[in-house]
Amino acid sequence: MAVKLSFETIYDPVLEKKVKGFEIVRLKTLVMFKHVGGDVEIRDGIVDTGAYVTLIPKSIWKNLEIEKITEHEITGLSIKPECAIPVIIGKTCCSLIDENGGTTGELKFHSYLALTDKVPLIIGFKDLLSKFKVCFNYENNKAYIEVPEKIKRGNKNVKK
C-alpha cells in the first residue's frame, strides 16, 4: 500500500522581483481527521521532513479528541521570544490519505497544537513520517509514502 503525495511548485511574487524563476517546492499530503462527534474532514497538509513534530492549527484540532500533555512554545528561523508560537503538546489521531483511496490507516501521534490559525498544517517526523518510507523525486513528479504491513495490521488496534 502506498499513499501518493503531491508537489506544489510556487513562484513567490516577492522573490520573483529579486530573482527570476526562483521556484519554491512544497511536498503536500491529504490528512484525514475524525471529529469528536464522528464527522470526518480532509485537510491539505505540508510534508516537512525538517519538522520534528506535526503542527496543527487551532481550528483543526479544536474538534478532535485530544490528549493534552503540556504547554510549550515553538520558534522558527528566528529564535526571538516575540516570534515564538505558543502550543500545547498533545496526542491525537489522523490518517494520511490520497484521492485514490490510499491510506496509512489511523495513527496516534504527538503533535504541537497551535493556539492560533496563523500557521499551516505541517506533517512532521514524530510518530508520523518516522513510521514510513517517504519517497520523492521532483524531477519525475513522483512522491509517495510506503505503508508497511505491520503498521496496517497495527492500525486495526489503535487505542484512543
Partner 1 sequence: MKIPKMSKQFWSDLNWARKHHTELLRKYRNLWVAVVNKKVVGAGDNLGKVEDIAKAKTGKKSIATMFVDGGEHIYGC
* Interface residues toward partner 1, by CB under 8 A: 6, 8, 10-14, 24, 26, 28, 30, 32, 34, 40-44, 46, 48, 50-53, 55, 57-60, 62, 72, 74-77, 79, 85, 93, 95, 97, 99, 101, 103, 105-106, 112, 117-122
- The residue among 33 and 132 lying less far from partner 1, judged by its C-beta, is 33
d(CA 19, CA 151): 44
Q: Are 54 and 124 in contact (CB under 8 A)?
A: yes
> What is the nearest approach in angstroms of partner 1 to the Cβ of residue 103?
6
Helix (H, G, I), strand (E, B) or coil at 130: helix
Work out the angle at residue 25's Cα, subtended by the Cα atoms of residues 19 and 26, and round it to the nearest 5 degrees.
140
- Output the 3-class SS for 72-93: EEECCCCCCHHHCEEEEEEEEE
- The residue among 12 and 67 lying less far from partner 1, judged by its C-beta, is 12
d(CA 42, CA 107): 15
- The residue among 114 and 134 lying less far from partner 1, judged by its C-beta, is 114
> What is the nearest approach in angstroms of partner 1 to the Cβ of residue 124?
8
> What is the nearest approach in angstroms of partner 1 to the Cβ of residue 84?
10
